[in-house]
Structure 1
Amino acid sequence: MDSNLLKVFIKVANTKSISQAAKELEFTQSNVTLRIKQLEKNIGYSLFHRTNRGVILTNEGEKLFPYAMDIIKKVEEAQVHMRNIDYQEVLKIGSTQTFTTSNLMPFLEKLNSDFKQMNLEFAVDSSLNLIDKLLDYKLDIAFVNGNPNHKDIEILNVVEEKMVLVEPLNKEPQKTCFVFKKSCANCATLENYIKNTRDENYKTVELENFELILGCIKAGFGIGLLSPKIIEKFGYTNKVKTTDIENHLDTHLICRKDYLPIIHEYLREVTL
């Protein structure tokens, strides 16, 4: 129901005059009449009796009046509330499993310290799913692998992620690539690296967490592509062999262009 039509209805009901309502609203009389007719069409009832002395509410108009007053009151309260918001009340954050494991907690702790009144909600998913959720307004910001390059998405910040090839220390690995998800960017990067540098065919196997991936690599069951931060986090720095590769898989902090977080300037400047 159009609140602007209800405002006209309330004004006419209070003044009992189309002409007086038009004067107070700074509308033409024909404009007020047109809006009342539009509201009556929407409601399906006549709302006013026309008399020589002006207008009075019909029974249906009497029933509508308190609801109209309540609706307008709530709309005005909402407008005042929104004008007075000077901080981000809730921030819905999406992140890949890789970024969640290696970088997200320090970021969340900093947000919690700098914005104590802000509630944080977050979801972990693949980059593709996070982008879809962001575009559907289900997330405010998201950390995704690579540049999404979408017309409706704005990049707020970039985290340079160094990736290393991970192999067992003192044994020849089996021809298996271990990944968290086949749909993740790490998987495509690793498969391209193998294709360009090795003649053998490797199979790709999904494992449910990074610690399991590292354990399998250490045991010689295959290889992987991981961030050094993840290797260090799980205590495998001296237990596996790592090799720098040319490919870097940067993480981009993104939001919708038409739905910038209130703290977007902070997010552009924060060190991730």
Structure 2
Amino acid sequence: MESQDLRIFKCVAETKSLSKAAEVLGYVQPHISQRIKNLEEELGTKLLIRTNRGVTLTNEGEALFNYAQRILLLMEEAKAEVNPNKFKRSLIIGASQTVSATKVPSLFSSFLKEHRDIEVKIKTDRKQVLQEMLSYGEIDGLFLSGTYNEAQFETVYHYAEKMVLISPLYEAPEEKDQPTLLINSDGNCIYRNRLLEFSKEHHLHKANIMEFDSLEAILQGVRDGLGMSVVPASVVKSRGDMKSIEYQELSEDVHIDFVVKKGKQRSQSLKKFIHFLESL
């Protein structure tokens, strides 16, 4: 059994699909199928059951998957232990652009002061995409707000974030009656949804909607007088270029969870990060 065979098998098991595993690993599907076939022939047993919806693990496949997770983690940790100058322990965390704006970088900064041997990377994308990445094993953990698949993931840490309504400091009277709402294009963004709720609560029926793909674009839009938005309070308080903006703190908080995949073997890097979060 080669380590690459185990990596391929592990990816197929996590994605529940030969084609998705091929996409994640950068191979063509026939190559993935052949490597799995070779592994089954070597072990003399069936590891996968192929269906129209993808693949499921046999009992023997479940047993190998558990071993594969542990073996591959131990291999990575062994390399980092033997030659830490060449092989750093890695930690890949996902977060939306809004969530990752201030709090997450601050957490990483404090964590890395204690663990200089760990290389931390952050992946930003839409909430649904990040959940898929966590499911496929492409990231180790994920900061998110709102609901998530509790059957697949579990919360190991959470915190509350204040929200503020921001708007241009100087507005014409007609702009107050018919404001423009600057929102994130991600339909799952908690700040987008809170702004839309705010417009309904205050009967802003004539409000225009303008979507942006990034937090920076939204902030610049408010600075330039395009309209109003809802963002994390920490974003406003951490910046010195917000003089042309007025803001109002909203009464409710946003609750952010750090979730990991249930049943997945946790690396030493992830264990240390979770321990760090729990000590805050």
TM-score, scaled relative to structure 2: 0.61
Aligned amino acid, residue 275 of structure 2:
Y
Conserved? CA contact 1:130–1:144, under 8 Å:
no
Residue among 240, 262, 266 paired with 2:271:
262
Deviation at 1:168, TM superposition (A): 1.7
Separation of aligned partners in 1, 2:154 and 2:199: 32
Matched, 1:202 2:207: yes
- Aligned-pair Cα RMSD in Å: 3.4
Q: Is the 8 A contact 2:111 2:273 kept in 1?
A: no
Deviation, 1:122, is: 2.0
Corresponding residue for residue 249 of structure 1: 254
Provide the secondary structure at the position in 2 that maps to 1:101: coil
Offset at residue 204 of structure 1 (A): 2.2
Q: Counterpart of 2:205 in 1: which secondary structure?
A: coil
Farther off after superposition, 157-166 or 177-186: 177-186
- Decide which structure has the larger Cα Rg and report it: 1
Counterpart of 2:186 in structure 1 is: 182
Per-residue CA deviation, residues 165-210 of structure 1 (Å, 9 max, x unaligned), is 1112232445211123232222112112211222423232123443
Query: 1:219, CA displacement in angstroms?
Result: 3.7
Report the counterpart of residue 5 of structure 1 in structure 2. Answer: none
Structure 2 gap ranges (5+): 3-39, 43-67, 82-87
Matching residue of 1:129? 129
Report the TM-score when normalising by structure 1: 0.63
Q: 1:219 to 1:117 in 2, by over 3 A?
A: closer
Is 1:148 the counterpart of 2:157? The answer is no
Residues 76 and 89 in structure 2, CA contact (< 8 A), matched pair in contact too: no
CA distance in 2, matches of 1:212, 1:83: 39
8 Å CA contact 1:157–1:252 kept in 2: the answer is yes
Q: Which residue number corresponds to residue 106 of structure 1?
A: 106
1:50-129 maps to which residues of 2 (within 5 A)? Answer: 81=74, 89-129=89-129
Tell me the number of residue pairs that the alignment of Structure 1 and Structure 2 aligns: 202
Deviation of residue 251 (structure 1)?
1.7
Which AA in structure 1 matches 2:256? T
**Mind listing any 5+ residue stretches in structure 1 that lack a counterpart?**
3-40, 44-74
Secondary structure of 1:98 counterpart: coil
| Between 207-216 and 116-125, the greater mean CA deviation after superposition | 207-216
Tell me, in whole angstroms, the C-alpha distance in 1 between the residues paired with 2:262 and 2:94: 16
User: How many percent of aligned residue pairs carry the same amino acid?
Assistant: 18
Residue-by-residue CA offset, 1:25-65 (whole Å, 9 max, x unaligned):
xxxxxxxxxxxxxxxx947xxxxxxxxxxxxxxxxxxxxxx
